[in-house]
Structure 1
Amino acid sequence: MQALVLERQGELSLRDIDLPLEVGPSDVKIAIHTVGVCGSDVHYYTHGRIGPYVVRAPMVLGHEAAGTVVEVGAQVKGLKVGDRVCMEPGVPDLSSRASKLGIYNVDPSVTFWATPPIHGVLTPFAVHPAAFTYKLPDNVSFAEGAMVEPFAIGMQAAARARIVPGDVAAVIGSGPIGIMIALAALAGGCSRVLISDFSKEKLAIAGRYDGVTPVDLSQESFAAAVARETADWGADIVFEASGSPKAYSGIFDLVRPGGALVMVGLPVEPVTFDVPGAIAKEVRIETVFRYANIYDRALALIASGKVDLKPLITGTYAFKDSIKAFERAASAQPTDVKLQILMD
């Protein structure tokens, strides 16, 4: 079958590739309908690596996906041919110590779509364990189903934050994940969320949501905005979602005494971290790596109508134009939040 293949850093091709499609007793085969273009996909395309994960051989991209079940294994219950589904892309070793502790997202042996050397799903069909495949409610579109994966990261961040109803949160970075964190934080009980960026276009998108206050960093510092909005107390929770090392300069000026810092963005350069600043306020520090035991919750929240992710889809491409989609994503147009590729 054809697939979008990252041949090597900076080189994409749409070509035939031989991928295993044998359906095991606990698996389902899915006709892929919609795939989101993730920042990690783009980073592998432009840089060839993310930390220890290095593209050493041709790899199919794509891990934010939804589609239709076309075959089910003999032991599968709860799913049938014709069901519309989304898929959690990371499959852990269920016998691992991490899985037994409920933190399978940090299982060292997890296999995650489009993470070297595992192929992704920008291809017509994929086989996946039924246990990590979720039926879409009738009111959730394929496009929204493909948004569950990035929204699950926002949900994981909100869960790690231990939100108390009425909390005020501050989010650094209004990219796709930053906005989804803001929405998850509001759904989790925050009364308000301030979100910062230099991109007026992305801030305008974030500011359309009730409860989200955009802060343009070209006009004022985030610390000044947070101080003004919290009577100089600070945010109860600060989410770092930009991945910029510069974001850590003065980051503890944003958080109140006894508050929390949740680190989500992955810097590619070294970070200077103000340990005395954290200790002086007894800031609780949490980290987020993907998600665990939250995918179905993210889907349920979208289906409830309490979170509307449709405004974040700013462009769609046909499968035959996948390379153009990635070229656009790599150009980082300020009006883009989430691009998607339609497989049929």
Structure 2
Amino acid sequence: MKSLVMERKMELSLRDFPEISRAEETLGPRDVRIKLHTVGICGSDVHYYTHGKVGPFEVTEPMVLGHEAAGTVIEVGSEVTNLSIGDRVCMEPGIPDATSKAARLGMYNIDPAVRFWATPPVHGVLRPTCVHPADFTFKLPDNVSFAEGAMVEPLAVGVHAATKARVKPGDVAVVMGAGPIGLVTALSALAAGCARVFVTDLAEKKLEIAASLSPAITPVHAGTDDLTTTVMAATENWGADIVFEATGAPKAAAGVFQPLAPGGCVVFIGGQADPIAYDAGAAMVREARVENIFRYAHVFPRCVGMLASGAIDVKPLITRKFDFNDSVRAFEIAASAPMADVKMQIELPQ
């Protein structure tokens, strides 16, 4: 019953992990027990591995990694009626306090008490099984694979961003960053109604993948092309209706208002380790609306529905898969940030 354990910064091991508490593994009446099948490697997982912390969350004792997951229900609680043994599912990894003010207002993702997989002190799911509330577990249709199911979690970020942007049919958008979150945001923007999406990055291969996703996506190389010039030339000098910042890079984030149209919206997705430069004057003269997102809320069923219907196809984003026994090597490769890879996933033994 091995798990992928982050022992400390830059040290991983595959080993038995009895430290997972009895409370975490006890099946409640509204819970299901899930055998994990596929788990994606997220940038936050890698950041914990390479830096030992993400923002205020610091790994001070061994922790199991992984939160982008899909698997099979193997046990159900006595009050569960929406799921059955054998159902293929994906799981929303953040569990709020249902009695909190944030949860009662519908903003459960920003509940300070939320317990999120692979965020200290909560263990992740690169392990054989887990127990999870049925209310945050979603059945996968027959035509949605485990690999696609494990992509629902990052896709939820893009869908939440497009929702906060209030996309209108025919909008022009810019996505800064062609990593996994940037590309699912581009797909979400198109699904929400954007007529055209410009995607910018420094990695040529990632831009090629972006361009292959839709003829409505225009790649812009951040090292050789000027984003603002390109967008203005394509919009009769008006600019983009929406700019999504998905790089997490201070230099990129500082320029979000330059390609933005008057009255446009900027959505900050990429997490910033330090304060960024914010051009208040550029925002003011455009009367720009600025939104920030933290994970997602109320979008998992929408994501599953779009994957099932073909409205969004995430399969081209899955660029490499690893066997569970190669998990340590998978993280070592992910930490090297290969330019040609978007999403790496780990498949657990069945």
Q: Same fold (TM over 0.5)?
A: yes
State the alpha-carbon separation in 1 of the partners of residues 193 and 70 from structure 2.
28
Distance 2:338 2:275 in 1: 26
The alignment status of 1:203 with 2:210, answered yes or no, reads: no
- Post-superposition offset of 1:229: 1.3
* Paired position in structure 1 for 2:122: 118
Which ranges in structure 2 are unaligned for 5 or more consecutive residues? Answer: none
Question: What's the counterpart of residue 244 of structure 2?
Answer: 239
Q: What does 1:62-141 align with in structure 2 at a 5 Å threshold?
A: 62-141=66-145
- Letter matched to residue 7 of structure 1: E
Over aligned residues, Cα RMSD in angstroms? Answer: 0.8
Cα shift at 1:250: 2.9
Q: How far has the Cα of 1:336 moved from its partner?
A: 0.3
Give 3-state SS (helix, strand or coil) of 2:327's partner: helix
Matching residue's letter, 1:13: S
Residue 266 of structure 2: aligned partner: 261
Query: Is structure 2 residue 220 aligned with structure 1 residue 215?
Result: yes
* Secondary structure in structure 1 of the residue aligned to 2:244: strand
Q: CA deviation at 1:306?
A: 1.3
Q: Report the equivalent of 2:320.
A: 315
Query: What secondary structure is seen at the aligned counterpart in 2 of 1:109?
Result: coil
Unaligned runs of 5+ in 1: none
Structure 2: distance between partners of 1:290 and 1:251? 20
Q: Which amino acid aligns with 1:188?
A: A
Q: CA offset at residue 337 of structure 1?
A: 0.3
Q: Deviations over 1:228-274 (max 9, x none)?
A: 11111010000000000001333211100100000000122331111
> Conserved in 1, the CA contact under 8 Å of 2:162 and 2:192?
yes
Q: Percent identity?
A: 57
Letter of the structure 2 residue corresponding to residue 171 of structure 1: V
CA deviation after TM superposition for structure 1 residue 66, in Å: 0.3
User: Structure 1: how far apart are the matches of 2:141 and 2:292?
Assistant: 31
Shift of the alpha carbon at 1:216?
0.8
Q: How far did 1:224 drift?
A: 1.0
- CA shift, 1:32, in A, is 0.2
Contact 2:247 2:253 in 1 (8 A): no
Aligned length in residues: 344
Matched, 1:302 2:307: yes
Cα offset, 1:315, TM superposition: 0.6
**Distance in 2 separating the partners of 1:127 and 1:173:** 34
Q: Which residue of 1 aligns with 2:9?
A: 9
